[in-house]
Structure 1
Amino acid sequence: MRNIVVDLGKNSYPIYIEEGLLNHASDYILKDYPDRRIMIISDDNVYPLYGDILERQFAEKTFCTHFVLPHGETTKNFQSLPKIYEAMLDAKISRSDLVIALGGGVIGDLAGFAAASFLRGVNLIQIPTSLLAQVDSSVGGKVAVDLPQGKNLVGAFYHPKMVLIDPSVLNSLSDHFLKDGMGEVIKYGCIKDASLFKKLESFTSYDDLKTELTDIIARCVDIKREVVEHDQFDKGERMLLNFGHTLAHTIEQYYHYERESHGEAVGIGMYQISLLAEAKGLTKPGCAKRILDVLTKYELPVTCGLPLSNLTEAITLDKKNLNHHLNIILLKDIGDSYIYPTDAAFFDQPGLSV
């Protein structure tokens, strides 16, 4: 068992990481929140695998029901919210009750935004079931929905009351979802931990990686904890977590979230922005090649074949646009990242494809 506490004063919360934790998750939840009505929000991929395992633990102890949504990024929109609110009303969920987000990043963001906005805030617990959600999106309190113009453009900072991470649920995932999560794992090595990056370089296969996956998840979570504690509202150091995301979000949007997954798009974004930065003398030569090699090792794409000019309009809507300046994240070297103030002209490279 690993117990990491995100220290945010009155918004502090624990993160528990343990193999098999899902089988006794109610021990943690009911200890701190007895006699609460519970709404589990999940999707049609995850709930059939783990919903009953979780819901049965609350039987005869408290009221628990569930609401299941279609899987996929296209579900994370305003049209889904009234359906969730209606289910919560039908279940008589009050502000003192609990919403449990059981799923990957889409469910965590969507259920989290519903919890943040219903009755001006219902207690939220995150139980992430994808590698990407376990290492990244379930921690830090960002919840959101997408707009047609871009990803996560409407959202809130709404921290969970706890996060329960069971690495053993990853055994049921297809290789695609493991690879998707590796995009974010590699990001953490790039921005904050050269030794983690070297470890990822040293593995010869996914089988090697899986032997240390719990430790790797814990390390990524601890990096995010440290960054969030320093910058809860994403106006300074926390922006470092967005390395690769300026291009990634525009790639996802361009293909209507139907081609590259988030982790794949982040991989492309990290490599391509490092190439641009090296050409401008802003990143140590050779970093892009190391990123290319590690992405290739974990079977992640490094290009999407789009002219860069096709993405520049969406880049101007990026949430990292503050005071009409675009703050992009670059590397000085592997493990050493920084915020570089610029504007969309940074990406003005006629004829260049990414």
Structure 2
Amino acid sequence: MKTVTVALGARSYPIHIEAGLLTRAAEYLVPLARGRTMAIVTDENVRPHLATLQAALTAAGVASEAIVLPPGEKTKSWPILEQLCDRLLELGVERQDHVVALGGGVIGDLVGFACAILKRGCRFVQIPTTLLAQVDSSVGGKTAINTRAGKNLIGAFHQPAMVLIDPDVLDTLGVREVRAGYGEVVKYGLIDDFAFFEWCEGHAGALFAGEAEARVHAIAHAVAAKARIVAADEHETAGIRALLNLGHTFGHALEAEAGFSDRLLHGEGVAAGCALAFRYSARLGLCSGQEAMRVAAHMRASGLPDGLAAAGIAASGETLVAHMRHDKKMNAGTLPFLLARGIGQTFLDKTVDLADVAAFLDEEPR
């Protein structure tokens, strides 16, 4: 068992990481159930894990009620949010109850937001079932739904009470989903940890092959890195937490152009976005072309896109920049960008000219 704490004073919470943890989740959930029925929200793809969790709760004497939603990014929407809130109210969820979010980032984001607004705030537990959710979205309290204008534009900061991570659940994922989740893993090395990037270069294959030690190390390292950043800047007001958005400004634009669909998974967009951020940094003379090429080469070696062509995006630079203008970080017409002086040397630049970004993207191969 590895345990990482997100240190937020009275709202601090643990992240427990251990192979096989799902079968023992009741040990951690029973004290939170308070003798009441626990609501578990999941999607159709996670039914096998739902059965495991409900069996564990039943054996521990805890009743549970499952709410099973459709899978996919379109579930993070106003209509599904309304349906979910209505169902939770029908179940009589109270402020002190803990709703369980069992699934990937879509379920975690949706359930977290529902709990943030239900009765002005009730509690929830994250049990992420994808690599991407385990190393990123389940930690830090960012919750949201998507709208026609863009991704995650309606949401709230609402921290979970606990995160339970079982690397064994990744065995049920397809290769593409694991690789997409890895896009968020390697990001932590690119931000401020060159040694971890080097570890990723040497161990990505083991992680993809399901090697237990590689999985646990990657997840624990990524979670600890995010926990430190969240504790230092929970609401992204000091410019520290913004570092976690490396690759996301470019990546979200690519995802938007792909219609937030399975054409381009989030982690794939982040991977391509990181490579683009390094190439743009090299174009500005901030980092060497060799480092930008090294980042792109690792993405390709990991089966991830390293730019527009590999991501299947043919849109113009201006079209992609138009998507960026809906970014939550826009401030007085200026969009901060995460750029790099080298691998592990990311910084926030608030002076980037979006017209220049469009020109850069127009130069990228299609």
Instruction: Answer yes or no: same fold by TM over 0.5.
Output: yes
User: Is residue 2:363 matched to residue 1:352?
Assistant: yes
Deviations 1:286-318 (A, max 9, x none): 221111111111100112343222211111111
337 and 353 in structure 1: CA distance in 2 versus 1, 3 angstrom threshold:
same
Q: Distance in 1 between matches of 2:343 and 2:126?
A: 31
Distance in 2 separating the partners of 1:298 and 1:72:
23
Displacement of 1:211: 4.2
- Percent identity reads 38
What is the CA distance between 1:32 and its match in structure 2?
Answer: 4.3
Match of 2:248 in 1: 245
Q: What's the offset of the Cα at 1:96?
A: 1.4
Deviation at 1:79, TM superposition (A): 1.1
Task: Give the aligned residue type for 2:54.
Answer: E
Residues 55-134 of structure 1 mapped to structure 2, 5 A cutoff: 55-59=54-58, 61-134=61-134
- Shift in Å, 1:322: 2.6
Per-residue Cα deviation, 1:66-93 (whole angstroms, up to 9, x for no partner): 1111111111111101110121122111
* CA drift at 1:106: 0.6
- Following the alignment from structure 1 to structure 2, what is the Cα–Cα distance between the partners of residues 278 and 195? 21
Residue 257 in 1 paired to residue 257 in 2?
no
Structure 2's unaligned 5+ residue stretches are none
Partner of 1:336: 345
Deviation sequence 1:13-49 (CA, Å, 0-9, x none): 0100011000010101213443233110101001x21
TM-score, with length taken from structure 1: 0.96
Aligned counterpart, 2:50: 51
TM-score (norm 2): 0.92
Question: 2:164 maps to what in 1?
Answer: 164
- 340 and 20 in structure 1: CA distance in 2 versus 1, 3 angstrom threshold: same
1:224 to 223, 226, 231: 226
Task: Spell out the pairing of 1:266-345 with structure 2 (5 A cutoff).
Answer: 266-305=270-309, 306=314, 307-342=316-351, 343-345=353-355
Q: C-alpha displacement at 1:327, in angstroms?
A: 0.8
Contact 1:203/1:209 (<8 A) preserved: no
The CA deviation at 1:335 is: 1.2
Give the superposition deviation at 1:226: 0.5
Distance in 2, Cα, partners of 1:283 & 1:326: 21
Task: Tell me how far apart the structure 2 counterparts of residues 21 and 253 of structure 1 sit (CA, whole Å).
Answer: 35
Amino acid in structure 2 at the alignment position of 1:98: H
Change (3 A) 1:303 1:5: same
State how far apart, in whole Å, the 2-side matches of 1:313 and 1:251 are: 11
Distance 1:69 1:319 in 2: 27
Residues 115, 63 of structure 1: alpha-carbon distance in 2 compared, 3 angstrom cutoff: same
Q: Please list every run of at least 4 consecutive aligned residues from structure 1 whose deviation after the TM superposition is greater than 6 angstroms.
A: none
1:281 Cα deviation from its structure 2 partner = 0.9
Q: After TM superposition, give the deviation of residue 97 of structure 1 in Å.
A: 1.1
Amino acid at match of 1:319: K
Deviation at 1:192, TM superposition (A): 2.0
Q: Could you tell me whether the CA contact under 8 Å between 1:36 and 1:96 is conserved in 2?
A: no
* Aligned-partner SS, 2:306: coil
Structure 1 pair 302–73 and aligned structure 2 pair: CA distance change class (3 A)? same
Greater shift, 106-115 or 298-307, is seen at 298-307
**1:210 CA displacement:** 5.4
**CA shift in 2, pair 1:119/1:317, >3 Å:** same
